[in-house]
A and B are shown apart, each in its own frame.
Chain A
Amino acid sequence: MNMLLDLWWQHGPVLAVVLPSLTAVLLLLIGDDGGMAAQGGQHETGRLRWRRRVALSSALLGLLMAVGMVWRASQGDLLAYRLGEWPAPFGIVLVLDRLSALMVLLTYLVAVPVLWYACGGWDARGRYFHAIFQFQLMGLCGAFLTGDLFNLFVFFEVLLIASYVLLLHGQGRERFRMGLHYVVLNLTASGLFLIGLAMLYAVTGTLNMSDMAQRVAQLTGESALLARSAALVLLVVFGLKAALVPLYFWLPGTYAAASAPVAALFAIMTKVGVYSIIRTHWVIFGTEAGEAALAVADWLLPAALTTSALGVLGALAAHTLGRLVAYLTVSSVGTLMAAVGLFTPETLSAALYYTLHSTLVVAGLFLLVEQMAAQRGETGDHLRPAHAVREPVLLGLMMLFGAASAAGLPPLPGFLGKLMLLQSSHGLAAQPWLWTVVLGVGFLTIVGLARAGVIVFWHVQPAPGGGAVSGGSAQLLSATWAFMVLTVALAVLAEPVKDYTDQTAAQLGDRTAYQRAVLGDLGSSTRPYNGDR
């Protein structure tokens, strides 16, 4: 036991990546005959049970490790893990700071209930669900932990490839159609990512984020201009992942087409884009980045506010519940990106709190929507009158809860998150804009969700020929409840969480400490990279 703890203490960051990948390999070894043998094979049900056990216990272990990482990060020191003991900036480093630890924890907080939900039946509707799910977790953890820009690209690819397959899970025409769009868009974005990365390499000669931050700050003239354009190219790439205007059109259709657990897991995918924007545009192109400082500030805030407004309009116009929730995802990303785009530590801290909340609420809503759809027979999640759901009180209460939380009504964490946003923007030039958009969006969110709730629960027609539809299974409901409980916990624990995010924002602003932790004393002794021999 002590040995294990020692191992974790020394190799914590890389274990967070290794654990899901090894689990995935193990799951592949267990094998999966998919639908073929599901009809009658005793053998196959046994293996399915084993796959579930392995996947769930690995995710729980991951959650435990993530909690450990947050605890470690909250001690205040940055942990740089040098892969293969190569000195940074030459080798790849994984960096465990408050932000990465928080995002990894959020990943697992979403992943565990989603996995539990998927074990209620979705995982048997296609092949290799659990293995791909673990690869997805590996990509997410890697992307959050890496301190190297090219390594970030590689982990992006890992999580994207896993997400392509997950999106198609369960198959069907709509999934293939949306899947093709999703894949082509993301492959194009990957190309752009490489271009932005290569431009940054051309002017700085490094890929290590910390080293790059230091070198970008020294750039002048044409090199600084190149760095600025690279920053904008990267904003396009991450903006596509985060679904910012005008790059969000793929999201509603894709998320609505995905199976419920996958859509819920994808709630964290947009946050990868948000995280990457924070990492690159705060740490590398932050306020201290010399001539290239705040390269994207002019674009980020207007784009984010527009995203928020258009997202909620889309939610109002949505004709299925799935699209409604997907548009709410877009809208919440817009709100939190607006806070990031103000570039002050206070707004960043509020944005991080709001990230936690919006991810959990959206994931919970995706799961809830599927259960409501399952109880409405053929109408499914279409927003038109149909016969009543089987359990109107239970589902209705959950819907009310989710809606109030998404819209930001007190005392739920959505309210706290928005309050923090509004407070933190006090006195800034963009304050009127932010206040107008955030409050207006909150109101329209209530309208949109109330409309959906009224149609689903009150515009009820008599059921055609005896209710053949069964109630929700306890497992599915408990997974959905888990998200509701987590959001309440977020509101109850608001003070420690806010403390943590405050210090996260402070830590991100402290570039010297970051450089000392990652680069050691090697620091600025290296010569500039300008093509001279």
Chain B
Amino acid sequence: MISMEILVASGLGLVTAAGVYLLLRGRTFPVVLGLTLIGYAVNVFIFVMGRLWSNANPLLIGEGAVADPLPQALVLTAIVIGFATTGFVIELALRSRHENGSDHVDGREPQGGEGVR
């Protein structure tokens, strides 16, 4: 039987790997997507660091086993900040595309065409 921990950990690893791959692309759109994926992975990671509980009560009830509420609060904060910064980076990418006439992260089309996406 596969434990919950292994499932979550490998899922996180997969999402992070995809995020890193996209982050290393040359165009701003995949880069933004990569940042978003990494952000998701990080958020779930924080959540999981409070341990994976099953059948635990919320803190409110306060009897028996309770799930750690702090990571949940941290995740909320991280989500809000991540959302704001993603909005900013999208706007910046659009503006950079407009100013430089290219959506490449370096602001200009790479020389030598082949294999550069």
Contacts and interface: CB of A to CB of B under 8 A. Distances in A.
Q: By DSSP majority rule, is chain A's interface helix, strand, loop, or mixed? A: helix
Contact of B46 (A172, A190, A198, A205): A198
Contacts of A207: 70
Interface stretch (A181-189, A333-341, A409-417): A181-189
Contact of B85 (A150, A171, A187, A195): A187
Interface in B69-90: 70-71, 74, 77-78, 81, 84-85, 88-89
Given A154-B77, A181-B105, A191 B38 contact: yes
A527 interface: no
A481 interface: no
B29 interface: no
A201 interface: yes
Contact of A195 (B42, B50, B71, B96): B42
Given A176-B96, A187-B35, A194 B78 contact: yes
A183 B89 contact: yes
B60 to A, nearest CB: 16
A491 B45 CA distance: 48
Contacts, number: 87
Interface string B79-111: 001001100110011011001100001110000
For this complex, into which size category does the number of interface residues on chain B fall? 35 or more
A531 interface: yes
B89 to A, nearest CB: 5
A205 to B, nearest CB: 8
Contacts of B78: 194
B71 A179 contact: no
Interface string A203-245: 0010100000000000000000000000000000000000000
B100 A187 contact: no
Interface of B: 23, 28, 31, 35, 38-39, 42-43, 45-46, 49-51, 64-65, 68, 70-71, 74, 77-78, 81, 84-85, 88-89, 92-93, 95-96, 99-100, 105-107
Given A150-B77, A201-B49, 9 more contacts: A154-B81, A173-B107, A176-B100, A180-B93, A184-B89, A190-B85, A191-B42, A194-B46, A194-B78
